[in-house]
Structures are given as structure tokens and as C-alpha cells.
Structure 1
Amino acid sequence: MSTLNHRALAMLRAVDEGRAELTCSREPDLFIDGVACCDQFTAHLLAHDGLIEPAQAGQYGQRVPATLTAAGLAALAVTPAAA
């Protein structure tokens, strides 16, 4: 993603707050507060662009906690909180 829109930033903040899970798969689905995220396309982009990742290994299809990568933390650090 060249630029992060408001939704992508909100998704990163949810991951940073410990409210998100990813499925262990090639196209990881994102769940926030136990509910499937409405924009899985953006979730896939965040994972493939290396901004989020599973916090631990899991079996295929299993949901595990999501975490920000160093790049994800940097993306949040340069973005105003109100974005």
C-alpha cells in the first residue's frame, strides 16, 4: 500500500491495541473484537505488505493473535492519531 487510508489505519490501531486476530493461511483474514473485519481486501494487503503478522504459529485456518511488525509500528508512528 503506498498510502494508508482511514480504514487501514483503524485496523492497524486495533492490532496495536491487542483487539485483533489473524487466520493462519496464505490469505490471512482479520478479526477485530471477535468479528470478521468488513474489508478483508485491505487486511490481506496489510499482511502481504508486512505491516501485520500472526503473533504466534498456528495450524492452517486457526485464529491467532495479530501483531504489528516494525513497519506497521512505523506506519502508525508517522500518522496523526486523529487520522
Structure 2
Amino acid sequence: MSSEPHELSHRALAMLRAVAAGRAQISCGREPDLYIDGMPCCDQFSAHVLTHDGFIAAGDGPFGQLVPAVLTSAGVAALESVAVAA
């Protein structure tokens, strides 16, 4: 996890919402790729940032395998803070 997380864009928040809704899969690996509704996400850089900053995680699986993406407690908090601000 990065010591200074990036500010979350509207796109990153939408990606977190898709993970929270159970619509996302992620590949197991150092630079995981995110898939939403079975399609590769158009912004893999943001997917990597969300993973490295600890907002989403991958379940257990062999390298390269797609597994369900999981929202971490930091991801839940990020979505809750946006909901409270709105």
C-alpha cells in the first residue's frame, strides 16, 4: 500500500462502485488488470493505483487467473466519504 494515496477521480470511484456491486474481476499478479462486466477496464493505470493504494484486492489464485475483485476497508471508506459529502 502506498503511503500517500492518490486523490480518487470520478472514474476511480465508478470502478470502486463496480467492485462493490460484485461486477468486477481482477487478475492475480503484481500489476493486476481489472475487468468489469467481463470486459477489460479502459483505465488499467487507475486499476493498478486502486490496488497498490489498497482500495481493491484480488482473492487467491494462480498468477494471471481472474478472480473476483474485493473492496477493502479503505475502498468502503472512500465510497462512504463520497456518499456523506454528497
TM-score over 0.5 for the alignment? yes
CA distance in 2, matches of 1:60, 1:48: 17
Q: Give the alignment's TM-score, normalised by structure 1.
A: 0.92
Structure 1: which 5+ residue stretches go unaligned?
none
Residue 65 of structure 2 corresponds to residue 62 of structure 1? yes
- 2:47 is paired with a residue whose SS is helix
- Counterpart of 1:24 in structure 2 is 28
Structure 2: which 5+ residue stretches go unaligned?
none
Count of aligned residue pairs for this structure pair: 81
Q: Give the alignment's TM-score, normalised by structure 2.
A: 0.89
CA distance in 2, matches of 1:80, 1:53: 22
The list of structure 1 runs, each at least 4 consecutive aligned residues, that deviate by more than 2 angstroms after superposition, is: none
Q: Which one of the candidate residues 34, 42, 46 is aligned to 1:42?
A: 46
C-alpha RMSD of matched pairs (Å)? 1.4
- Counterpart of 1:76 in structure 2 is 79
Aligned AA (2:39) = V
Q: Post-superposition shift, 1:25?
A: 0.5
